[in-house]
Each structure stands twice: as C-alpha cells, then as structure tokens.
Amino acid sequence: MSKDIHIKKGLDIKLKGKAEKATKAASSSSVYAIKPEDFHSIIPKLAVKVGAKVKAGEAIFYNKANADMKFPAPVSGELVDIIRGEKRKILELKISADSTQEFIDFGIKNPKEMNGEEIKAHLLASGCWPFIKQRPYDIIADAAKAPKAIFVSAYASAPLAANYNYVLDGKEKELQAAITALSKLTSGTVHVSVGKKGKSPLEGLNNCTIHNVSGPHPVGNVGTQIAKINPVNKGEVVWTITPQDLVIIGELLLTGKFNSERIIALAGSSVKNPQYLTTKIGASIDSITKGKLENGSIRIISGNVLTGKAQSLKGALSYYDNMVTVIPEGDDYELFGWTAPVFKKISTTRALTFSWLSPNKKYDLNTNTNGEHRAFVVTGQYEEVFPLDIFPMQILKACMYKDLDEMESLGMYEVAPEDFALTEFVCISKQPHQEIIRKGLDVMLKEIG
Amino acid sequence: MGLKEKLHNIKEQNKDKKWLPAFSAIHTFLYTPNETTHSGGHVRAADDLKRTMNMVVLALVPCLIFGMFNTGYQHYAAIGEAVDFLSWDAFLIGLIKILPLVIVSYVVGLGVEFIFAIIKGHEVEEGYLVTGMLVPLIVPVDIPLWMLSVAVIFGVVIGKEVFGGTGMNILNPALTIRAFLFFAYPTWMSGDKVWVHGADPRVQNLIEGAKPDAISGETVLGALAQGKELAYSVSDMFFGFIPGSVGETSTLLILLAGLFLIFTKIGSWRIMLSAVIGALVMGLIFNSVVSTGWITESSKFYTLMSTEFWHHLIIGGFAFGVVFMATDPVTASQTNKGKWIYGFLIGFISIMIRVFNPAYPEGVMLAILLMNVFAPTIDHYVVQGNVKKRMKRLKAKVA
C-alpha cells in the first residue's frame, strides 16, 4: 500500500556550495573519535582501557543502563585517549588507526532465514543497534519494545544535503539485506521514502513499502513522513534509521564485517570545490577538509546547517552524519541591519526583505542570528513552514513551562528536535526551538519513560 | 578606530553593568549585533522583531502626516477661515500640535521601558516602537501633554510590564492607554468639542481670535448618535477630510497601510478580513431591522441603525483599529482558525457598541479590548480541537 507524500508547507533553504557529484577519498585520518554525546541520553560505560588494541566492530563502550547495547570502534587500532569533561563525563574516545585494518568476524548471515530475536541479538552484538533510533523521544531504540513500523527516509531535503541517490548507488544488495532483517523486527511495515524525481537505489527493494515524496524541506525529514504515513500515538513506538546506516548493517550481514565507511558530502560556501568524499565514522574534520577551506572566520558543521553540530578542525564526523558543511561565521555588526533592505539573506516575510523576488537564487548565509533573542511575539509564521498537524508555538511553550499533560496532548510523542529546525530558522524572536524541544523530550523521558 | 569598534569595546568592557541594557538598546539600533547561533540550527532568517515593528511604524507614517494636514484643515474650517487641505498653513498647525504628542509618547513610554529593562536586567524590547506611534494617532489633538504622559505610564506599566513585557501582555498597550484616558478624563475624550484643535472652550482662550460659538468639531459618529444630518459626503469620509482622532480619519491611507502589512506578511489578513465581514454582517442586521419596521424614527438608535451598513467601515476609528490594533499578534488569537473568530467578533461587536451605546460612539476600542480578553479562550478551544483529533486517533487504534 504505497502512499505518495506531498507537502506544501515548508521551506527550501537554497545555499551556495552544493557538492559536485564526484567522489574522492578523503585524506586518511590518523585518529578517529567517537563522541558519546552523539547518542543522546546514553551513559557510556567503558569496555576497554587506554592503550588497548581494538579491531573494527569491537565494543569500546556500552550503555550503562543496558549492557547489551554496545558501541563499536569504527576502525582497528589503539585507543589512545579518552577526553573527559565536567564530573569526568566522557566526551570523546580517540582511536589511532592501524595502517592495515582488521575486522572482527561476526559471521555471514542470511536474514531471510533468521527470526526477529536472532536478528536483534546479532545487531546488538555487532554494535549496529545504535543505528536504530526510536520515536517518541528521538533516542536509540529500546530493543525490548516492538515498534509498530520502521521508517527510512532516502530523500534528503535539508540544505545542501548529500544526495542519497548518488551516495547509495550500487549498494542495492546491502540495502536489501538490511531491509529484510529489519522487516523481521516489526509486526508492521518497513516504510521507505524515496524522492519522486530521480532514480533511487532503494525503489526496487522488497519486504518494504516504497513511498514517493515531493515538496519543500522538511518533506525528507523522517518525522514528516511518519506523520503523513502512520503517526505515533501514546504508547506506540516507531523506529527510524538512515539509509547510509542500512548499508553498514547490510554489509555486516553479507560479509560479517562492521565497515564504517560511507560517502559524505563536503558542502557549503566556505568550501573550495565542494564534492563527495569517502571516509569513515569518526574521521577527523581535519582529514576531511584539509586544503579545501576558504580563509577567514568559518564554522565547520558535522551535518547540515539546520541540525548539525559545530566542530573544530580537531573535531570528528558525528556518528549519524553523512555530510560536513562549512559556512562563514557571522560575528560582525551590520549598520542599520534591522531596517535596511535585505537582498543577501533569506526571509519568509516581505518586510523589506527581497528573497521572495528570486525563489531560485542561492544564498551565502552566515551564522549571524540577524537579531536578538526575544519573547514569542509574532504568530502564524511557524505554521507556514511546519507541515505536521501540531500547533508549533503552543507545544514549544508547553515545553518551556514543562506541563507534561499538555506536551503529551499536543503531540510531543510525534516530534523530534529536527522537526522544529525550520520554525527555528524563521523565528523572529530567535528562540532556540530545537533546544526547547530536546529539553522537553528529556523531561518526558525522565518522568514518563 | 571606527564607531563600530568603539561601541563594541564599550559593550565588552561593561558586560556586568546594570545600565548595559540601556546602552544595548541604542547600540542595536545602530548595528545589528554580532551574535552568532550557538544552539540548534546554524543559520537564521533575516527578520527580527525590530524589523517587524519597523514595518508597522512605516505603515503608520502616512496616517501621521495626513493627520497633521487634517488637524490644520479642520481647525481653519472650524474657525471659518478656509484653507487648502494641502497647505503649509494647515500642515504647520498640525505639526505644532502633533509633534509634541509623538515626542511625549515616545519619551515617556521608552523611558518606562528603559527603567524596567535596567531593573529586570533584560534587553529593551521593541513593542513600544509601535505603541508609541499609535498613541498620538488615537487621541484628540488638544489633549494636554501631562494627561498623555500619565496615560502612557499607566498603559506601559499596567498594560504590559506587570505581565512581563512585550509578548506577555493580555491587552493591547495602545488601547489600554486610550481606554485609561477615556475613563479617567471622559470630558477630554468624547463629546463634540474635542476633535478639532481650538474647538474646546477650555483651550479656546489660548488661541487668539477664536470665535467660541462658531466652532463645532463633532465627529461623524457623534453627529449620527445624536440623530443629526451629516455634513460630510462619503468621499470626505473615505479620504479622511473629517474631524476625528489624529490618525484615524483617512480610510484610504489605512486601507493602503493594511494592504502593505498584508503584503509584507506582518499583519494578519485573516483578522482584517474577518473583522470587516463581522462589521458588515452587524451593519446588515441593523439595516434590516430598520427596513422591517421594527424600529421607527422616534427611536434614539434610528439614525445609527439606518446608516448604510458599509458606511460603518469608513467612519470612526473602525478601520484604524482593525488594521493596526486588532492585528497586534500578542493580544490577538494566536491560531489561524482562532484569528477568523476573533476578527469576526471584533467587527460584529464594534458596530453593536457603536449603535447601542451612543455615549461611547467609538465601539472598536472596547470591542478589541474585550476580544483581547477572550482571545486565549478562543485559542484554547481551537487547540482542543487538535488534541481531540489526536485522542480519537488513539481510540480508533485501541478499539
């Protein structure tokens, strides 16, 4: 039962610096880093000590609350450093990579012949489980709770996002193996969304329902697709997983190896020759961007400009990301910036802002907030870019005053911070929407669970 | 070292000072700050609250300038010396009378805002930029400046700051100021002597050569409420060559400002449109009451009820209130569906008050304030509709 999804509410933020469809290998990273903060709400418990030799796929830490949930080393090598923050919180585990990579052999499996329990055990043991996330709460899936459906979005609509049709080309076998395995984990359906235009490597897959999606961002957000296909109700759970992580699971099943290699996009207006690169999870930003950046004050983001995390050159590609965006910092003043006509920035109003004149123009946005933080004042603005059947301002306010009943009844189980990235972008009061939603979800997770 | 660097250094060196918000208000007026994103998305759209508020102020400027010409024009008409509408004589009278109102409104209002910002340690908010411009436009021209100051202080403190500032208030601050004046100093705010400069006997002795008895400065609504014949044509009322509060008379300019606000997406077209519909519906009801003969010419409501329904849109402060005050996003309904209901009721109730209560010939102020109070209730039921849909979906699953 395929269902096409088309939305009208939303906004395509068109930026300069789209990645050219050409792939090169990134210069090899000597040190790879895994950041436990990429796995929200997980408290890590170390499985190895500094100085230990690990193979690719070997667990380096596990979830304190659930020792079965293991987090693997993306490469083989030596655990050289553990960086800690306040209260000895683990911030980063650094692995210096061997020149020849060794993999743990998890054994070749045929997902068609396995049952759900076997697949679950295999994914947990091999460290592939963290790729599966769940709604509500937008955290790593709880293996004990069966999902009513599993969603994969293979259409990226975020600004400058890596084109899945390009980066997954030729990975059909891996994707099919992973989808078959996932289909055993739910009594419902595995929903795969592909772009209406273009040929997706996922559109011929079996054991899942394919949906064609079209429209502006956030149509590619898995949250939008869940809302349109099968929204989450109280007490229900759905799982989500990104296509690039499906490839890793597929390869694990087909070869027995945990291979963290992926093709990422290096994009943004501060990148010389933006293009695609082959690299691995946790690769250092330096190895990805070396010699490719413009001079001047820049911000490097692992992920896209709406939901990614800022990184320094010493930082690393985050666990779930398949792109690095680099844009100019905006730490400068602008004379009469609040009243002068604006031609070089994007706006959804026409308040002497002229981006409505040229909808296809590409912009070179910087990180300036273009104004100060204020209380919520303007109304009706978020609804224009927010396709879910939820009142965005009301739910944000409910999160701010932590009214659990209200959050629940307004639809908090259905949302993730990324769903509020566009409302945050257009917000005249410059409120931190994603942070508000994340904190709201954390309160609910703690109180209701 | 340029001004930019100098101001930046002052800001950096005085981060812990209490007066910094006052400095920042001026600093950010000159320069959009160098603030960058630090959580969530890394880029932001171009608009901020200053820009939004500035659009409304821009839309008000034509009304203000027209008001200056009209003040002089009405003054000379009242004392029996005809001058051209677009003449320096007319404009000068208006400028001399209205500029002090604007200055007092801004100085007093922003003064209160600055004091609160410093005491509470938050930035000076932009809400008063619009309020400060609205206030001189909705008061009679001869209002004493001390009275205006008292009202502005009341309106900003009780109408807004006690709730927590811009974005938190329940009542529109500009209308709170006007309502305060209306109830505290009724003789200065209503009647047939206050709307034209020099018409009020209390200020007549200040003007040389005034002929006290010759002056009448009734508003259209005032005249209608008393069942008098109208001295003005429809085109006079539409273009605004009539007595009234400073900025409310020209329906044409208000209409253009409304279209500008809708085009820039700053003002809500839902509220404006539904308020007009609401007013027309109420007007039609009254017209049909008259035409069915339920009410006769002896009734005190007859003249206002028999006013053609669409005339209500161009007389009094209806148009001004609907375009500039009903659309205040903080005090209006916040949901799109709610805006339709809210706007409709404002239009409907405005005309109702106008007709039934000749003592308050201007209904739109009270109608908007009343609906300000009910806006959260309207929103509550609209949001509950969404909540119920979600509950239903869950029940359908369980069943």
Backbone angles phi, psi at B323, to 5 degrees: -75, -40
Give the one of A338, A377, A410 whose C-beta lies nearest to B330's C-beta: A377
Contact of A305 with chain B, judged by CB distance below 8 Å, is answered with yes
Q: Are A15 and A362 in contact (CB under 8 A)?
A: yes
B36–A331: do the CB atoms touch at under 8 Å? yes
Give the one of B8, B51, B165 whose C-beta lies nearest to A333's C-beta: B8
Chain segment B311-351, per-residue pLDDT in tens: 889 888 899 999 999 999 999 999 999 999 999 999 999 99
Give the one of A231, A374, A383 whose C-beta lies nearest to B49's C-beta: A374
Nearest by Cα to A381 from A332, A340, A430, A417: A430
**B127 pLDDT tier (thresholds 50, 70, 90):** confident
Nearest by Cα to A78 from A93, A95, A94, A55: A95
Q: Which residues contact A173 (CB under 8 A, 6 or more apart)?
A: A250, A254
Question: Which chain A residues touch B273 with a CB distance below 8 Å?
Answer: none
B390–A327: do the CB atoms touch at under 8 Å? no
Partner B, chain A 369-428, Cβ-Cβ below 8 Å: 369-381, 383, 389-391, 393-394, 409-411, 417, 420-421, 424-428
For residue A333, give both structure tokens.
């003043």
Q: Are A71 and A125 in contact (CB under 8 A)?
A: no
Substitution target from A378, A406, A427 for chain B, most B beta carbons within 10 A: A378
Q: Are A290 and A274 in contact (CB under 8 A)?
A: no
ipTM surpassing 0.95: no
**B230 pLDDT tier (thresholds 50, 70, 90):** confident
Using alpha carbons only, how large is chain B's radius of gyration in Å? Answer: 23
For residue B72, give both structure tokens.
């002089």
- 3-state class (DSSP) for residue A284: strand
Q: Which of A79-88, B56-65, B358-367 has the lowest mean pLDDT?
A: B358-367
CA distance A181 to A235: 24
For residue A157, give both structure tokens.
């609509």
For helices B88-120 and B145-159, the axis angle rounded to 10 degrees is 40
Listed in sequence order, the DSSP H helices in A151-259 are 164-167, 172-183, 222-229, 243-255
Distances in whole angstroms, Cα of residue B322 to Cα of each of A412, B163, B275, B299, B317: 35, 24, 7, 29, 8
Which domains are seen in chain A, by residue range? 31-97 (2.40.50), 111-255 (3.40.50), 369-447 (no CATH)
Quick one: DSSP state of residue B139? S
- 3-state class (DSSP) for residue A55: coil
A233–B40: do the CB atoms touch at under 8 Å? no
Question: Which chain A residues touch B267 with a CB distance below 8 Å?
Answer: none
A351–B265: do the CB atoms touch at under 8 Å? yes
**What is the percentage of chain B residues whose pLDDT exceeds 70?**
92
Question: Which chain A residues touch B165 with a CB distance below 8 Å?
Answer: 375
Q: Are B346 and B323 in contact (CB under 8 A)?
A: no
Tell me how close the Cα of B255 comes to any Cα of chain A, in angstroms.
Answer: 18
CA distance B152 to B355: 29
What average pLDDT does the segment A15-24 reach?
A: 92
Q: Which of A59-73, B52-66, B118-132 has the lowest mean pLDDT?
A: B118-132
Substitution target from B47, B272, B334 for chain A, most A beta carbons within 10 A: B47
Single-letter amino acid, residue A327: I
A427–B335: do the CB atoms touch at under 8 Å? no
Cis peptide before A136 (omega within 30 of 0): yes
The pLDDT value given to residue B397: 73
The pLDDT value given to residue B387: 94
CA distance A425 to A427: 6
Backbone angles phi, psi at A198, to 5 degrees: 85, 165
Question: Which chain B residues touch A412 with a CB distance below 8 Å?
Answer: none
For residue A94, give both structure tokens.
């650094």
What average pLDDT does the segment A172-185 reach?
A: 94
B214 pLDDT above the threshold of 60: no
Strands A31-34 and A53-54, by their bridges, are unpaired
Single-letter amino acid, residue B298: S
pTM for the model: 0.92
